[in-house]
Amino acid sequence: MAWQIVHNFDVEGGKANLNLRCPYLEMQMWIDPEMENPEYLQVDTLHIRVIHFVTGTINITFLFYQKIQKELRISDSFDYAQSLLSPRCIKSHLPLQMLPPKLLDTCKVIVVARNPKDCCVSFYNHEKLFPAQGYTGDFPSYARLFKMGKLVTGDYWYFMKVFLVIKFIRVHLK
């Protein structure tokens, strides 16, 4: 929706792959260069699932982003994002501290804040879907880790707090 708004509701341009229009900044971290070897894996392009894998278990996330990288011919997500014409939309799950320091001064940022309960359940299902991420416990244990901010995905509460404090400062202390 953001892409459509900044591009004056360009219906034809909106038909392009979403990852071409709005690249996922961290996509590069999910791509394993070893997977270029065709004997290493084979991916069902309809269902994005492993058909054949020679060396054992694999993180399906790598397969998904490897597929995107090959289909879209994006070898470096940062370079690709920089190459887009302005105005550009870029997606990221990174905390503010890991993004460019002047981001909020030079760009419009949309923060999507989900209900924490929904977010916890979604993260849990994501971890279960991708076993190579390492979580093997039950949901009550996962929910406790989520509440304490002790997940691989980071601390939800801290992530939200940073953006809320910045918003408060910009709105009320100008």
* Same domain, yes or no: 106 and 86: no
**Per annotation, catalytic residue among 52, 93, 126, 172:** 93
Per-residue pLDDT, averaged over 122-138, amounts to: 79
* 71 and 53 within one domain: yes
Flag whether pLDDT at 117 surpasses 90: yes
Is 90 exposed, middle or buried (CB count within 10 Å of its CB: 0-12, 13-18, 19+)?
A: middle
> Are both 29 and 101 inside the same structural domain?
no
- Last residue of a domain, which of 75, 92, 109? 92
Domain co-membership, 135 together with 83: no
Q: 65 pLDDT band (50/70/90 cuts)?
A: low
Are 75 and 109 in a shared domain? no
Position 142 scores a pLDDT of 94
Q: Looking at the structure, do residues 2 and 56 belong to the same domain, yes or no? A: yes
Amino acid at 69: Q
**Angle formed by the axes of helices 116-129 and 156-172, to 10°?**
140
CA distance 132 to 58: 6
126 is catalytic: no
Compare 98 and 32 and report the one with higher pLDDT.
Answer: 98
The residues, ordered by sequence, that sit 6+ positions from 156 with a Cβ below 8 Å of its Cβ are 116, 119, 120, 146, 149
Q: Which among 72, 92, 112 is the end of a domain?
A: 92
Q: How far apart are CA 24 and CA 30, in angstroms?
A: 11
The pLDDT-based confidence of 48 (bands split at 50, 70, 90) is: very low
Residue 38 pLDDT class (50, 70, 90 cuts): very low
Is 157 found in the same domain as 79? no
Q: Which of 121-130, 141-150, 151-160 has the highest mean pLDDT?
A: 141-150
